[in-house]
Amino acid sequence: MSKQIKILINWFLGPLIFVVLSWSLYTQIKNQPDLELRWQQIKESWQHPAFWIVVALMMVNWGIEARKWQVLVQHVQHFSFFKAFKSVLSGCSITMLTPNRIGEYGGRILYVEEGNRIKAISLTIVGSISQLLVTLIMGCAGLFFLRYFSQTGTGGNVVLPELWGDVLIWLSVTITVVLSLFYLRIGWLVRMMEKVPALQKVVTHIRVLDEFDNIQLIRVFALSLGRYVVFVLQYILLLQVMQVELDVVLSFWLITVFYLIMAVAPTIGFVELPIRVSACWALMKFYTHNELGVGTAALGIWLINLVLPAIIGSLLILSIKIVKDKNE
């Protein structure tokens, strides 16, 4: 890599990400309907202790993710928890600029030694699959609850009508079972690829996946589940702060379906706010009339769990020398 390109990457990539992210977020927030009312509601919520519990849980949320990344990346190099925490926040900043947050590895591998970065990409995939698997399992359970155990105020179930509701449930279950088998047999993928001569170069970089046994994979899954419980709890608390009167159990299952929708819907982090608000209201409008509260809660979660960590991560990238000279 030429010296000019190294200078470009080291000194312009971080500032560019920060500027693009900041401008995009400002535009998204500015274009929100009823922004003044929602912002007023958020300011009033600052006096509510539960609001600050939600903010504190954001640190727990990303702390669990940092621990998960630390466990994964130990397979290629030693990583302290603090370094893993900075790594996931940097990944959060880049993932906000990519579809369905697939670019999180772009920020995380900046903290990995250059010789291990390609291997580390495959490790981020393991972490992402485990989190997706939790979202699918809990989302399927939420679909079952809404389909068979929940009724709206009108006494019927218009959230999941009979035919399409059953199709959606069993399609989701099928995808979840297939992904579960793939996750627990991820080493099998490496061994199959080893038999194809044309893929030997790729196998060199992903062979680290064959080191994971089921106990390690379940450990990573458990961390993903813990993180999932935290951000569902955050959502329930913020709905209560915004005076959305919903039963806690019902709120829990509605949020699991909401996260299932967000996991499969094609979105880009910094422009997904309207989709988040619309999807959340589409699920909850049958159980509450507080549209402003639901929309404000969706906005609040987006700001606390995604925007704030992404901004911190973009600032961290500014301090990283991404490409080192050979003589360093």
Looking at residue 121, its pLDDT comes to 83
Closest CA to 62 of 311, 317, 237, 322: 311
Closest CA to 37 of 242, 308, 306: 242
Looking at residue 5, its pLDDT comes to 44
Looking at residue 18, its pLDDT comes to 64
Residue 8 CA to residue 313 CA, distance in Å, equals: 19
The one-letter code for the residue type at 328 is E
What are the structural domain ranges in the chain?
3-318
Q: Residue 55's Cα: distance from chain center in Å?
A: 16
Q: Element (H or E) spanning 294, and its range?
A: helix 291-302
The one-letter code for the residue type at 241 is V
Residue 142 CA to residue 196 CA, distance in Å, equals: 41
Q: Residue 146's Cα: distance from chain center in Å?
A: 23
Q: Which residues contact 265 (CB under 8 A, 6 or more apart)?
A: 275, 279
Which pTM value belongs to this model? Answer: 0.82
First to last CA, the chain: 15
Q: What string of pLDDT tens digits covers the 328 residues of the chain?
A: 444 444 444 555 556 666 666 666 666 666 666 666 766 767 777 778 888 999 999 999 999 999 999 999 988 888 899 999 988 988 887 777 676 666 677 778 878 887 788 888 888 888 989 999 999 999 999 988 888 777 654 444 555 656 556 777 888 899 999 999 889 888 887 778 777 777 777 777 778 888 888 899 999 999 999 999 999 999 999 999 888 888 999 999 999 999 998 888 766 655 677 788 888 888 888 888 888 889 888 888 988 898 888 888 877 776 665 444 444 4
Looking at residue 30, its pLDDT comes to 64
Q: At 283, is the secondary structure helix, strand, or coil?
A: helix
Q: At 103, is the secondary structure helix, strand, or coil?
A: coil
Q: Structure tokens of 91? A: 């990944």
Looking at residue 103, its pLDDT comes to 66
Looking at residue 3, its pLDDT comes to 44
Q: From the CB of residue 173, how many other CB atoms can be counted at a distance below 10 Å?
A: 15
Closest CA to 69 of 83, 57, 54: 83
Residue 241 CA to residue 48 CA, distance in Å, equals: 7
Residue 68 CA to residue 127 CA, distance in Å, equals: 7
Looking at residue 286, its pLDDT comes to 84
Beta bridge partners of 268: 99
- In contact, 147 and 173? CB cutoff 8 Å: no
- In contact, 272 and 301? CB cutoff 8 Å: no
What's phi and psi for 282, nearest 5 deg? -60, -35
- In contact, 72 and 126? CB cutoff 8 Å: yes
